[in-house]
Chains A and B, each alone.
Chain A
C-alpha cells in the first residue's frame, strides 16, 4: 500500500499535528520505508489466530464505586497559567 502527500496531510489533521512543507517530504519518504517494513506481515498466514491485545490473560479488574481521591484542583491547575475561577481557558469555541 502506498502513501502520498495528501495522505500525510489527512493524517496530520486527524492527529492534530502540523508539518512544514519540507517536513512533509521527509516524512513521506520515511513513512514509505516504514510501511514497506510493516508490509512483511502480510506474508504470514493468520487465518483463525485470535488477536493478542495484551501480554497477560487478565480480566478487567473492578472495584467498589467509592470516592478514593480527594479534590486537588488547585494543585493540578498549577501546571498552566491559563485558568480562571477554577476553569481552564481556551480560545473562543462558539462564534
Chain B
C-alpha cells in the first residue's frame, strides 16, 4: 500500500521539521544544548515551511473522510478534533501562565517558545483537517472540473509557502493582486455547498451549530497566535503568514458561507423535505412496478404514502366495488372508526352514466351538505377513486382534523399517487394477461393437435351405408369426439360424445374415451353366443362409466351416444348417455323425428347405481332411412339476437333434404347452421354425422 507508506513518510518529516523548528525558536538569544545561539533565519523558515507542507500532505493523503452522505458525522469529527487541539493549546497556555510566575520557570524564553511552537503545530494540524474536510464538501457532487480547480487551489496555496521561504522580492502591487486572486478563488470555492441540500431540517440545525463551533475554534487559535507573534519575549521572525492567512481565510469563509446558506435554507427546508418525501414515494411506487411486486403491496404503499404526504389524520383504502377475489379483500384503515367510514361510504354513489365513483373533496366539513354524519373532529375529507375507463381498483379516503387540508397542491400530489397506482395495476394486469395468453395458446395448440389426431382419418365404407361427417372446433377447444369401428360380420359401431370442459383436460378425456371405445369393442373370444361377442350399448355405457370414474374430476362429465349397427339383422341397437337426441328419417312413414330416450351422462353417478340410468334401444332400419347424430354445438348455435338454432329447425331441415346422399345432407344441414349463426363466433365445437342406409346390395 504505497499511499499509507507515503503518508507515514510525511508524518516522520513533519516530526523532524517540528523538532528543528522548536530548536531554532529556542536558539533565539541563547545557546542550547551546546549548539550556537541565533540559528540562521532560513533554517527556521525551512523547518516551518517543511512542517506545514508535510502536515497538509499527510492530511491530503488520508482516505476520503465523507462516508456516503453523512455530512453531520464529518462536521462533528472536525469539530471534536479541533476542540481537542484547542483544549491542548488552552492547557499549554495555562501551564505557561503558571510557570512564568514561579520559581520553576525555565531560563529565558524557553517556556513561551515551546508553547508557541506547539500551538503553531496544533493550529497547522487543525487548519489541515479543516481544509480537507472542506475539500470533501466542495467536491460533493461537484464533478471532474471542480476537482481539477481544487487541485489548482492547493498548488497556489503551496506556492505561497515557497514564496515566503525564498524571500523573493515581489512588488507590492503583484503581491496584493495575487492575494486578491487567491482570495477570490477561495470565495468561488466556498460557493460549492451542494451538500446542504441533502440535510434534513434537524441536520441543518446541527450543521449550523457545528460550523459555529469550528469558526469559534479558528478564531481562538488566531487570537492566540496574533498575541504570541507580538510577544517581545519570543523574538520570532514573521511566520509564513500568507500561507496561514489564506488557509485561515478559506477555512473561515467556507464555514461562514455554509452557515449562511444553511441559515437561509432553514425556512424552506421543511417544504423541501416534503417534496423530497413525495418524490421518494413516487419513486418507490414506480420501482415496485419494475420489480413486479404484488397488488397488496402496491395498495399498502399507496395508502402509506398518501397519508404521510397529505398529513391526513385518518384514512381508509376501500376495495373495488363488486369485484370477487380482489387483492384487497377488506378496507385498509388508519385511525378511522368503522362507523365513520360508513358515514362516508353511504354517500358514495357512482357518477350517473358510469360505473365509477366521483371524486369528493369537502374542505369545510362542518358546513358540508353532502357528508353530515361524521363526528365534529374532522375538518376536511377527500375521496379519490382509483380507476381507469375499464377497471375499478378501489377508493382512497383521507380525513383531516383541520379544514382546508386538501388544497389544490395536496390534491395534485395525491392525483400523482393515484395515477401512478392505477398505472401499476394496469402494468401488472398486462403482464399477467401476456403470461396467460401464452399459456392458453400453448394449451390450445396441444389440445388442437390431440383432437386432430383423434378424429378418424378414414371413414368406414361399405355398400350398405353412407357416412358423411363435419366437425368444427371452437376457438377454445372443447371436447367433441366421434369414432367408427368396422366389426367383422358386417357390423358398424359408432360413438359420438362431448367432454365437458375445454383445453388440454378435455382433449385428454377425449383420448381416454377413444381408448375405452377401442378396448371395449374387442371381440370376446369366450362368448358363447354371437351377439355376446361385443358388449351391447347398455353394457358399453356402464363399463365406460366405471372406467371414467377414476380419472374424471368431480365436476366433469361426458355425454355420449353409442350405436351398434348390424347389417345382417337389418337393425341397430343404441344407448344414449346424456347426449343429444338422435334425429331420424323413417323412409316408410316418411317422417322425421327424434329418438327421445332416457339416459344419464357418464361420470355423474360414479357407482353401480348408474346401470339403472341407461337403456339399450332397438330399431329396425329400412333402406333410405337417415340418421343424424350431432353434438350440442349444432343445436345451441346462436344467431345475432341470442336465439338458439334448436332441435326443431334441424328437424325441419332434414325434412327438406333426406332424399339426398349422406354427403349432400350433411352439407345442407351444416350450411343452414352456418347461415343461422352468420357473423357470430363459434361458442362450442360442432360435430355432425349423417348415416344413410342404402338398399341391400350383397357383396360380390
Q: Are chains A and B native binding partners rather than an unrelated pairing?
A: no
